[in-house]
Structure formats: C-alpha cells, structure tokens
Amino acid sequence: MGFSCGIVGLPNVGKSTIFNALSKAQNAESANYPFCTIDPNRGVIPVPDERMNFIIQYIKPKSIVPTTVEFVDIAGLVKGASHGEGRGNQFLTHIRQTDAVAHVVRCFENDEIVHVENKVDPANDIEIINTELLLADMEILDKAVTKHQKAAKSGDKALKKKVEVLEEFLKCADEGKPLRALLKEHPEYIDEIREYNFITIKPVLYVANVDEDALAEDNEHVKTVRQIASSEGAEVVKICGKTECELQDLSEEEAKEYLQTLGMERSGLDSLIKSGYDLLGLITFFTAGEKEVRAWTVENGASAPQAAGKIHSDIERGFIRAEVCSYADFEKYKSLTTAKENGRLRLEGKDYVVQDGDIMYFRFNV
C-alpha cells in the first residue's frame, strides 16, 4: 500500500462527499446535517500512475497490481469534542494508525448547506479542529507521563529519558503547538513516542473543498487556508466534491476533456495522492514481467534491499543483486530486452538507492 490517510473536519464540510468521490465506493453516507457519519468509512483505491499504464502497454502482463491508498473518514468534530460535545473524540482512534491527516475545510458559500458554526470561516474552522486534535493528544500525554513517572524514580535510565521526552511534548502542547513542531526540532525523539500514535505528529494535507468557480482561481477562503498551511509547512489541495463525483461517471478520455474545460491538469484525487507522496517522501518502483506488473511504494532514499523487503522479507534477507531499468530507459526502448541489449539494464548492489519509476528484478538466495 502507498499510504493511509485519515479524513478530519467539522461536520457538514463535505468530508463524506469527497470520500465518496475519492474512494469510488459511494458507501459513505452524506447528508445536510451534522454527525451524518457515525461509523468510520474506509476506502482503498488504486494509485493512478501513467507510467504503469505505459509499461503494461508494452509488456502485456496477465495481471496488473497498482499500489493503493487507504482513506479513513470519521465523524465530524466540533468545538468541545475533547470534553464530549457532539460525538466526542472517540472516533479519533480510527485515524491514529494512519500515515497522514487530510483536513477538509469548507471554502465555498451556499445558504442551502448548513454550517455547524453558522458561518463559513476557514481560519476558525481550522483552529477548532487543530485544538481538538491537540487536546486529544494531550489526554494521552498526561496519562503516559503519570504512568511512567513513578517507575522512572526507581532509577531506570530508559524510563527517565522517556518521561523527560514526554514532558517536552506536553510542554509543546500546552503552548498550543502541534507535536510535529517539536519532533521537527528533535527527530531523535520519535523512538520514545512512536507507540502512542499521536495525531498532531502526522503530516497534514489541507483539503480546500471549493465550488467550481474556485477551481481555476483561488477565492478568499482558499487564500486563507494557503496562508495558514504555509505558516505550518503543510500542503494544500483544492477539491470540488461535486466535480470529483461527476468525473467518476465519465470515461478516461471524457474526464480529461472535462478537466481541460475547468482549467485543471489533474483531478482532485490525483492531486491529493501526489501531495501525499511528496509530503511523506514516498516514491514508486515497479516489478514487471509477463505474469504480472506491480507497483510498490518505498520511502525516498530506500536501498535496493529495503525495496526488496517490500515484496518479501526473505528477498531482503537473501538479497544478492538487483537488475534495474530506469523508467526513462524503458520509455525509450519500450522493452526490457531491448534496454538490456543497449546496456541500460544495470546490475546494482546493496548500496543502490532506488529511484522513482525504477523497474526492478531482485536476485536472492535464502
């Protein structure tokens, strides 16, 4: 799987509508009233990749397996959720295991669609959600510090270090800062807090839910979201839920033409996934043969053995060499055999750093 992404936001900002469009599952109930989503909705979708389409055009495999992204849509949060308002924050456990958070913000005006705060104010909406997420993390921090403090007094150096780190994060939260701010300064702290799956440590993608008029040019609401995201080092993706739903009913060619009329190079889905990969520092490599062409996701900077481990731990353990053809070379020669004949199918060792789009075959022995 590429990555998993939890979808958060106030009630009725279009989370479930966007989820329906992104997942193509159409199984997330959406309606014009708060707290429509009660149980979390999950959608696993294939990652669109033009490179894979090109590869299978010439290799013609029996099976095609793209990498995927999982979206998890939870109930909308409201001010005071951490104290039990609305549905409370009990649903946040469903996104603690995700890799990133997509924060949907309403950036359109429509009197027929109620807003839980009775006004469209992206800055206020973002502050409410960020506060509730931080309060949820603070609750876990408080419990963790209390749990370990007594044991740390026994002289256990490891526990003492853990408590010190947790207290640093608690101080960060008390100052109203997301925990990722402290982790950015001290990346070495990650081992002490990994087990807690704090939400405000996760990278954030702000999803500006707009109407069609704002797709080509930002409205004032989107500009506000971009300013906030810039101050946090976060990404922003514009999505029109209505447009994304309409795209699902079109053929690939019709969808391209429709996007062109809207002045868009890619769909909101493609933009969201691309931003997610960039934010998390992920790349894709391929394995390709007559039986199967498959896409795999690894962290940028991964070694060849680490990439092999994505396929199976035995391949990583017994790694010998990797046969590698860059996507650019495959695009040029349109055949792995022809690429090899022209000296473009390389043998790489354990120190090779995988490049985005590499087509790889692993030699191993266990």
Residue list, annotated binding site? 12-17
Q: Enumerate domains of the chain plus CATH numbers.
A: 3-279 (3.40.50.300), 301-364 (3.10.20.30)
Q: What is the pLDDT along the chain (366 residues), one digit of tens a residue?
A: 788 898 888 887 888 888 887 766 444 344 443 444 446 678 888 888 999 999 999 999 999 999 998 888 876 665 655 555 544 455 677 788 889 999 999 998 887 666 666 788 999 999 999 998 999 899 999 999 888 887 777 777 888 888 899 999 999 999 999 999 999 999 999 999 999 999 999 999 999 999 888 888 899 999 999 999 998 888 899 998 888 888 878 888 898 888 888 888 888 888 888 889 998 999 999 999 999 999 999 999 999 999 999 999 999 999 999 999 999 999 999 999 999 999 999 999 999 999 999 999 999 998
Residue list, annotated binding site for ATP? 12-17
Stated pTM of the model: 0.83
Q: DSSP characters for 196-235?
A: G--GGGS-EEEEEE--THHHHS--HHHHHHHHHHHHHT-E
**Residue 121 has which token pair?**
């104010």
| HSE-up (13 A, CA, CB side) for residue 203 | 18
| Count, residues in the chain | 366
Residues 282-310 as b or e (16 or more Cβ within 10 Å = b): bbbbbbbeeeebbbbbbeeebbbbbbbbb
